[in-house]
C-alpha cells in the first residue's frame, strides 16, 4: 500500500540521513513484490487451489508469501516518522505540499498516462468495452486519488495506498497550520478527532501514528548484534502474522517495537538494514513499488497462455519470478534515474523559473 511511504529517508528534525529507514523502505517494496510473485500467477482466480500457473506449493508457504503485501504498513510507519519533521523543516504548508507533489506525482502520472493509453489497446481489466464517459471518469478519479470514494475501479494496482498517503499529508498539514500557525487547539481538536475516526474506519492507518510517536520523541530500542537482529526479525514476523490472522491493532505492538529497533543507532536491525543492497533498494523503492506490476503483467499474460498449452507450472512460475525480478529491478532503476531524478529536476526548475518571473513582473515585487 503510502508507499506505499513515499518520503525521502531523512530525519529532518535532526537534519541527517537515516540509513536504516532507507533500508526499511527497500524491504517494504520488495515485500510487496514478493507477494505479487504468488498472487499474479493466479490470474485473478482465488476460489480453486493452484489456479493459473501457480504450482502446487505448500499452503503455509503460500500464506507466508502472500503476507508480503503488508509492506504497505511499513511504508505508513516511515511516512508517519518523516512527514511531521518534513513539514516543520519546510515551515510552510505550501512549500511542504509542493515538495510532496514533486516527490509523488511524476512517476505516478507517467505510469497513469501509459496505462490509459495502452489499457484499451490490450484490453486490460476494466478497459474492455469501456465507453468514453466512463473512461474519463476513471481517468480523472484515479488522477486525483478519489476512485474509492466514488466507487470507481483502481487503475494502477498499487496506487491505492497513495490515497491514504495524501489524506495523511492533508490532515497533518491542517493540524500543523492550526496549532503552529494559528496557535489554536480548538481548530486542531476536530481534525485530531477526524484522524481517530479514520483509524477506526481504516485500521491500517494506525501505523502512521507509530511513526509520529517516534518522530516526536527520542524513544529508541537499541539491541545490538545478532540478538538485535533476531529480535527485530521476530517482531517483523509477529507484525505480519498479526495482520494476517488477528487485527491491524494487534500488529501495532510488534510494529512499534520493530520500528524502535530500526531507528536505534548501532542496533542489530539498523546495521542489517544499512547493508548496501538494501540501501539501493530503498533508493529506488518508490519506483519499484509502482512500476513492478507493469513489468509483471506481460509475463503474467504469457504464463497464463502457456499453461493452457500444457507447459509445466514449475517452469513457468520459476521463469516468472526470475525474469520478473530482474526486469522489475531494471525498470525501477531506469524510472528512478529518468523520472525521479532528471524529470523531477526539470519540472522543479521550470516551475521555479516561471514563479520567479511572475514575481519579478508583479507590481508588489
pLDDT digit string, tens, across residues 3-12: 444 555 554 4
Residue 313 has pLDDT above 70, yes or no: yes
**Per-residue model confidence as pLDDT tens digits over 35-74:** 999 999 998 777 777 789 999 888 888 888 889 999 999 9
Residue 13 has pLDDT above 70, yes or no: no
For residue 160, the model assigns a pLDDT of 92
Q: Output the nine-digit C-alpha cell for 42.
A: 493466479
Question: Which residue, among 25, 33, 34, 19, has the nearest Cα to 7 in the 3D structure?
Answer: 25
Q: Output the nine-digit C-alpha cell for 191.
A: 481534525
Share above pLDDT 90 across residues of the chain, in percent, rounded to a whole number: 73
Residue 303 has pLDDT above 60, yes or no: yes
Residue 98 has pLDDT above 50, yes or no: yes
Distance CA 158, CA 7 (A): 16
Confirm if 298 and 351 have CB atoms less than 8 A apart: no
Mean pLDDT over 166-195 rounds to: 88
Note the helical H segments in the chain: 19-39, 59-66, 71-90, 93-122, 132-143, 160-176, 185-201, 206-215, 225-245, 252-263, 268-273, 276-283, 285-308, 313-335, 344-361
Tell me what the pLDDT averaged over the chain comes to: 90
Residue 1 has pLDDT above 50, yes or no: no
Question: Confidence class of residue 134 from pLDDT cuts 50, 70 and 90?
Answer: very high
Residue 318 has pLDDT above 90, yes or no: yes
For residue 359, the model assigns a pLDDT of 66
Question: Confidence class of residue 129 from pLDDT cuts 50, 70 and 90?
Answer: confident
Mean pLDDT over 14-20 rounds to: 74
3-class SS of residue 17: strand
For residue 3, the model assigns a pLDDT of 43
3-class SS of residue 298: helix
Q: Output the nine-digit C-alpha cell for 204.
A: 491500517
For residue 48, the model assigns a pLDDT of 77
For residue 362, the model assigns a pLDDT of 64
Contacts 24+ apart (CB under 8 A), 245-252: 247/203, 248/73, 248/203, 248/204, 248/206, 248/207, 249/203, 249/206, 251/73, 252/206, 252/207, 252/210
Distance CA 20, CA 275 (A): 9
Question: Confidence class of residue 364 from pLDDT cuts 50, 70 and 90?
Answer: low
Q: Output the nine-digit C-alpha cell for 89.
A: 523543516
Distance CA 284, CA 261 (A): 23
Residue 349 has pLDDT above 80, yes or no: yes
Share above pLDDT 70 across residues of the chain, in percent, rounded to a whole number: 93
pTM beyond 0.85, yes or no: yes
Amino acid at each position: 500500500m503510502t508507499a506505499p511511504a513515499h518520503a525521502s529517508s531523512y530525519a529532518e528534525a535532526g537534519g541527517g540521513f537515516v540509513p536504516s529507514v532507507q533500508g526499511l523502505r527497500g524491504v517494504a517494496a520488495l515485500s510487496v513484490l514478493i507477494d505479487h510473485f504468488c498472487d499474479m500467477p493466479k490470474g485473478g482466480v482465488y476460489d480453486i487451489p493452484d489456479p493459473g500457473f501457480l504450482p502446487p506449493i505448500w499452503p503455509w508457504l503460500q500464506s507466508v508469501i502472500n503476507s508480503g503485501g503488508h509492506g504497505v504498513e511499513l511504508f505508513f510507519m516511515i511516512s508517519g516518522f518523516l512527514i511531521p519533521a518534513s513539514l516543520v523543516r519546510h515551515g510552510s504548508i505550501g512549500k511542504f505540499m509542493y515538495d510532496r507533489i514533486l516527490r509523488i506525482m511524476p512517476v505516478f502520472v507517467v505510469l497513469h498516462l501509459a496505462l490509459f493509453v495502452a489499457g484499451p489497446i490490450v484490453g486490460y481489466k476494466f478497459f474492455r468495452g469501456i465507453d468514453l464517459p466512463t473512461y474519463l471518469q476513471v481517468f480523472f478519479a484515479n488522477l486525483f486519488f478519489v476512485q474509492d470514494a466514488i466507487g470507481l475501479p483502481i487503475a494502477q494496482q498499487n496506487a491505492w495506498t497513495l490515497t491514504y498517503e495524501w489524506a495523511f499529508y492533508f490532515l497533518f498539514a491542517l493540524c500543523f497550520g492550526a496549532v503552529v500557525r494559528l496557535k489554536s487547539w480548538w481548530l486542531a481538536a476536530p481534525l485530531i478527532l477526524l484522524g481517530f475516526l479514520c483509524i477506526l474506519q481504516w485500521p491500517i492507518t494506525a501505523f502512521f501514528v507509530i511513526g509520529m510517536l517516534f518522530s516526536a520523541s527520542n524513544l529508541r530500542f537499541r539491541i545490538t548484534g545478532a540478538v538485535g537482529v533476531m529480535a527485530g526479525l521476530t517482531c517483523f514476523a509477529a507484525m505480519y502474522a498479526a495482520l494476517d490472522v488477528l487485527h491491524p491493532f494487534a500488529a501495532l505492538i510488534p510494529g512499534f517495537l520493530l520500528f524502535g529497533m530500526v531507528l536505534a543507532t548501532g542496533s542489530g536491525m539498523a546495521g542489517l538494514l544499512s547493508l548496501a543492497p538494501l540501501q539501493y533498494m530503498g533508493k529506488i523503492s518508490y519506483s519499484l513499488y509502482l512500476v513492478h506490476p507493469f513489468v509483471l503483467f506481460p509475463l503474467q499474460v504469457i504464463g497464463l497462455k502457456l499453461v493452457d498449452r500444457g507447459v509445466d507450472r514449475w517452469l513457468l512460475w520459476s521463469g516468472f519470478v526470475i525474469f520478473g525480478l530482474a526486469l522489475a529491478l531494471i525498470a525501477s532503476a531506469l524510472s528512478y534515474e529518468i523520472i525521479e531524478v532528471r524529470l523531477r529536476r526539470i519540472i522543479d526548475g521550470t516551475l521555479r523559473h516561471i514563479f520567479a518571473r511572475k514575481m519579478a513582473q508583479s507590481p508588489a515585487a
